[in-house]
């Protein structure tokens, strides 16, 4: 493959790699929770304000359990832990059993004091303290479990000088401290944004450094083993490596962080590199084996063009995800789009070097494994499909309808904790807390007024109570705490401690007195300093994003009514806004499928100059995606960033295979009038590269089950399933579709060179544009004849007419045997013969023999009759011109006969 741009491509690869490589040191990761929140979310600014105002801008919690927690020894160890945590330079304060104050009524008066001002030695005294703490609604479920065996220490962390992001030193110090006290308690661990960020970061690094290379190695070895062609494994591996280098480097220069979704980027890019690269190399090598010559640059450009079109469709689908504004999704989508385009460029630049190296050593031919006859399988499948089309259509419709029914159950999830595997220690610990405490996830309901001291008014406190009662009625949230609870607790204790008095006071003066019992720090979680705003802290452990979003939507409607016109209401929380991303993801997924479908329908119709081609390609692309959707619905796996990418992978694979199949079918239709035979040959030639690519990628995607992220593992499993469905569609349904359509490639039309003169002046193409002439040539059959060969034999029966493209032929009339013949005419380029046989079945009246090497187009009657529905204007124009030709010849014959009679 001696292309003259091998030198240019080498320096281009080197320059781009060096340029992007210097951007790698600038690549940063962002695994913070804010990367999961859409930048377009109207509540984003409100969230930041609420977090700062109510002292919750940076918090984490340490939970511990011990059956003997309420003993002097364990409480002393707990105090020691408290002291050590306060000693950490990044901890602002620690809230726990040693800092929380209880309100007690005594003799018609109220007094406050810490739960544990000291640690009594008597067991009975400790049990009394425990019982009082458990009966305090502000303590139970929050600081202390109802059985008294679990407790929590809440750490308020100082603002980080370097801004938002993970601080490894902080997390390491915290983990070291927790580890040091693990021997003191039966169970102790931290749960909070700090730990979540750290675990996300660790899992991301492991996946990128270990799972990505393992995926590439497994896919490469599988291709090499099945094809025994190292070029087919090397080219896509090299292009994937370059695409990843360029992508990560460009992200570093552009300041785009690598979020946890970046764990999918290496397998995603490698997947598309092998989908495109294996096919291109295979066709190049097979062409050399078949024709004993390298594939021409134009043909390679056609193959690469198909791959670029696949990337464009993929990029169109990914653009819908980039528009969500969620950095977690947006960053991956932009990186994947760039990587796809980079892969196409890298393939174009790498291919000539590898193929030249292979050809120079006369090695690397792609071969099927011995002992198997792959060519028989497509033939049998095609025969089965075409012989019983009704059965095939019925089966496909049944599974499609069933899959749509199951897919209707699909839900979306954007809960960060669901991104960990079920076996994760974090999820196990959260499950334990769900049963013992009031939930690790929180959000806040805030009511705001323009009036100072608005929440000294009983009617405003009552609004808080109404909202909390509705939360209880919903029955989905673990607990809620507000300023109304603080006042209700004080009121209960003041009136003797009976639970029936657990109500907020009805008088403004009493509210003001009760508030004096609490210090500023205790009130800061529930009210602003000027009492213009009050907040309800809600705890929960709801895992399903759509379920949580539905209940929050219902809650917002109630809050809006309760707030009325004189107050502003908001429902904010990092967890809520993260889960709100599920709705955005679901919408982006729908838009992605619609955009891809529209692009395929439009562009394939243009590529193959027929709307039937666009509809056929879209039909074949939709079937495996619907089936995959049904499988996800049946197994109740939610739509998340990983499973959403399954549809991009599936669409890309089946579209790429469909385009290669269509392209080869276009070429073969020019050599035979039997479309079924053309389909069979196309399928036989495309079976091996598509099948091997599918097997290799399925093996690679199954490897992703070992990912540290559940969404990556789910992407692997369902992408493998999608590839299986794609292969079945291509080898089972595609033959049925292809055998009923006729396609002409736009690429062939554009690259065809039609000489001015003979063809444009040909009577058969009269009144047709150059484009229409090219298309007419491409829907006919092209035949080559050596000198002396017969194009038409006298006495034979045929329903075809011919048009000379190149060379000359003679029309010879045989009389009394082959030794007696008479030359009637010499045919030159542009001339037509055999039109009588085309119109009606009769014996040929003379031989047509090639005088030189002849290229001729054959127009078969049955084929043209079939093509009339696909290319009505072209076929009708040819038939009209052919009638004119016959009319002119008939008129000439009549004139000749008339002149002959006149001479007699």
What are 98-153's pLDDT values in tens digits? 998 888 877 677 888 888 888 887 888 888 889 888 888 888 888 999 899 999 99
The answer to which of 72-76, 170-174, 288-292 has the lowest mean pLDDT is: 288-292
Q: How much of the chain exceeds pLDDT 70, in percent?
A: 89
Please give the pLDDT value at position 361: 52
Does the pLDDT of residue 285 top 50, yes or no?
A: yes
Query: Kind and range of the H or E element at 718?
Result: helix 710-728
Can you say how many angstroms the Cα of residue 426 is from the centroid of all Cα atoms in its chain?
27
Average pLDDT over residues 853-878: 84
The answer to which of 3-12, 417-426, 453-462, 893-902 has the lowest mean pLDDT is: 893-902
User: How many other β-carbons are positioned within 10 Å of the β-carbon of residue 601?
Assistant: 18
3-state SS of 558-610 is HHHHHHCCCCEEEEECHHHHHHHHHHHHHHHHHHHHHHHHHHHHHHHHHHCCC
Phi and psi, residue 608, nearest 5°: -115, 20
Please give the pLDDT value at position 609: 85
Does the pLDDT of residue 643 top 90, yes or no?
A: yes
Residue of 198, 178, 164 whose CA lies nearest to 61: 178
Torsion sign, CA atoms 50, 55, 60, 62: negative
Q: How much of the chain exceeds pLDDT 90, in percent?
A: 41
Q: Helix 675-703 and helix 212-227: axis angle, to 10°?
A: 140
Does the pLDDT of residue 316 top 60, yes or no?
A: yes
Please give the pLDDT value at position 892: 67
Average pLDDT over residues 563-589: 89
DSSP class of 115: S
Report the chain's mean pLDDT, rounded to a whole number.
Answer: 85
Contact call for residues 409 and 637 (beta carbons, < 8 A): no
b/e 439-476 (16+ beta carbons within 10 angstroms → b): bbbbbbbbbbbeeeebbeebebbebbbebbeebeeeeb
Please give the pLDDT value at position 704: 95
Please give the pLDDT value at position 370: 43
Does the pLDDT of residue 48 top 90, yes or no?
A: no
Q: How confident is the model at residue 181 (pLDDT cuts 50, 70, 90)?
A: very high
Please give the pLDDT value at position 5: 65
User: How many other β-carbons are positioned within 10 Å of the β-carbon of residue 385?
Assistant: 21
Average pLDDT over residues 664-689: 81
Please give the pLDDT value at position 2: 43
Tokens, residue 748? 């062939």
**C-alpha to C-alpha distances, 66 to 117, 153, 192, 224, 430, nearest whole angstrom:** 21, 14, 21, 57, 17
Average pLDDT over residues 6-22: 88
pLDDT digits (tens, 9 = 90+) for 378-413: 556 566 666 677 788 888 999 999 999 999 989 998
Q: Model-level pTM?
A: 0.85
Contact call for residues 780 and 857 (beta carbons, < 8 A): yes
Please give the pLDDT value at position 377: 56
User: How many other β-carbons are positioned within 10 Å of the β-carbon of residue 517?
Assistant: 19
Contact call for residues 126 and 72 (beta carbons, < 8 A): yes
Does the pLDDT of residue 837 top 90, yes or no?
A: no
Average pLDDT over residues 168-176: 87
């Amino acid at each position: 493959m001696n292309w003259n741009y091998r030198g240019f491509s080498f320096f281009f690869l080197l320059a781009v790699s060096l340029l992007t490589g210097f951007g790698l040191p600038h690549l940063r990761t962002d695994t913070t929770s804010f990367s999961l929140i859409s930048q377009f979310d109207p509540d984003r600014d409100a969230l930041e304000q609420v977090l700062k105002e109510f002292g919750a801008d940076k918090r984490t919690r340490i939970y511990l359990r011990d059956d003997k927690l309420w003993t002097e020894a364990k409480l002393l160890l707990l105090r020691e832990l408290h002291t050590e945590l306060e000693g950490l330079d990044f901890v602002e304060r620690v809230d726990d059993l040693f800092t929380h104050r209880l309100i007690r009524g005594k003799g018609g008066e109220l007094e406050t004091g810490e739960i544990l001002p000291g640690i009594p030695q008597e067991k009975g005294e400790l049990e009394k303290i425990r019982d009082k703490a458990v009966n305090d609604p502000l303590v139970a479920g929050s600081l202390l479990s109802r059985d008294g065996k679990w407790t929590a220490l809440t750490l308020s962390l100082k603002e980080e000088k370097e801004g938002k992001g993970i601080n490894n030193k902080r997390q390491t110090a915290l983990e070291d401290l927790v580890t040091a006290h693990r021997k003191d308690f039966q169970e102790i661990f931290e749960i909070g944004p700090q730990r979540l960020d750290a675990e996300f970061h660790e899992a991301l690094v492991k996946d990128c450094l270990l799972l990505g290379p393992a995926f590439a190695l497994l896919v490469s070895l599988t291709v090499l083993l099945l094809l025994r062609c190292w070029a087919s494994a090397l080219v896509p591996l090299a292009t994937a490596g370059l695409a990843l280098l360029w992508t990560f480097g460009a992200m570093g220069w552009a300041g785009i962080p690598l979020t946890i979704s970046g764990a999918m980027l290496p397998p995603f890019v490698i997947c598309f590199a092998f989908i495109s690269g294996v096919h291109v190399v295979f066709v190049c090598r097979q062409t050399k084996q078949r024709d004993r010559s390298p594939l021409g640059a134009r043909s390679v450009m056609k193959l690469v063009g198909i791959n670029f079109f696949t990337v464009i469709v993929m990029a169109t689908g990914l653009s819908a995800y980039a528009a969500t504004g969620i950095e977690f999704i947006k960053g991956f989508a932009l990186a994947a789009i760039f990587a796809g385009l980079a892969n196409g460029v890298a393939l174009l630049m790498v291919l000539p070097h590898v193929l030249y190296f292979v050809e120079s050593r006369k090695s690397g031919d792609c071969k099927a494994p011995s002992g198997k006859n792959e060519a028989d399988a497509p033939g049998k499948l095609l025969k089965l499909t075409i012989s019983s089309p009704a059965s095939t259509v019925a089966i496909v419709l049944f599974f499609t309808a069933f899959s749509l029914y199951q897919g209707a159950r699909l839900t979306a999830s954007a809960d960060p904790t669901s991104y960990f595997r079920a076996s994760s220690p974090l999820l196990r610990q959260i499950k334990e807390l769900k049963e013992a405490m009031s939930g690790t996830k929180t959000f806040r309901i805030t009511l705001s007024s323009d009036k100072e001291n608005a929440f000294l008014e009983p009617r405003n406190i009552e609004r808080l109570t109404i909202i909390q009662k509705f939360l209880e009625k919903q029955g989905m949230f673990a607990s809620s705490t507000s300023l109304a609870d603080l006042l209700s607790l004080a009121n209960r204790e003041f009136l003797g401690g009976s639970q029936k008095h657990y109500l907020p006071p009805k008088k403004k003066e009493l509210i003001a007195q009760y508030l004096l019992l609490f210090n500023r720090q205790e009130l800061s979680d529930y009210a602003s300093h000027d009492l213009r705003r009050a907040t309800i802290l809600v705890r929960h452990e709801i895992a399903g994003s759509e379920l949580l979003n539905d209940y929050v939507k219902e809650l917002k409607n109630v809050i809006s009514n309760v707030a009325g016109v004189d107050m502003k209401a908001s429902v904010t929380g990092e967890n809520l806004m993260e889960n709100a991303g599920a709705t955005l993801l679901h919408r982006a997924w729908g838009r992605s499928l619609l955009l891809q479908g529209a692009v395929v329908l439009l562009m394939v119709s243009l590529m193959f100059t027929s709307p039937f081609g666009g509809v056929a390609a879209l039909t074949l692309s939709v079937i495996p995606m619907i089936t995959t959707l049904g499988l996800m619905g049946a197994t109740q796996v939610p739509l998340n960033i990983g499973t959403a990418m399954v549809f991009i992978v599936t669409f890309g694979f089946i579209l790429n295979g469909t385009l290669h199949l269509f392209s080869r079918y276009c070429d073969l239709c020019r050599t035979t009038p039997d479309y079924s035979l053309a389909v069979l040959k196309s399928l036989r030639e495309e079976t091996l590269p598509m099948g091997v690519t599918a097997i290799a990628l399925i093996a690679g995607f199954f490897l992703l089950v070992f990912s540290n992220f559940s969404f990556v593992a789910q992407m692997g499993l369902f992408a493998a399933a999608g590839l299986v469905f794609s292969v079945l569609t291509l080898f089972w349904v595609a033959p049925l579709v292809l055998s009923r359509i006729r396609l002409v490639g736009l690429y062939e039309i554009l690259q065809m060179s039609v000489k001015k003169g003979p063809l444009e002046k040909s009577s058969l193409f009269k009144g047709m544009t150059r484009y229409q002439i090219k298309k007419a040539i491409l829907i006919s059959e092209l035949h080559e004849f050596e000198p002396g060969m017969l194009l038409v034999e006298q006495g034979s029966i045929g329903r075809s007419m011919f048009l000379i493209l190149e060379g000359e032929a003679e029309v010879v009339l045989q009389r009394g045997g082959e030794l007696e013949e008479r030359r009637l005419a010499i045919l030159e380029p542009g001339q037509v013969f055999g039109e009588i046989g085309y119109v009606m079945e009769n014996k040929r009246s003379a031989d047509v023999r090639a005088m030189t090497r002849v290229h001729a187009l054959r127009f078969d009657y049955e084929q043209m009759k079939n093509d009339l529905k696909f290319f009505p204007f072209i076929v009708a124009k040819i038939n009209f011109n052919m009638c004119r030709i016959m009319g002119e010849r008939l008129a000439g014959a009549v004139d000749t006969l008339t002149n002959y009679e006149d001479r007699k």
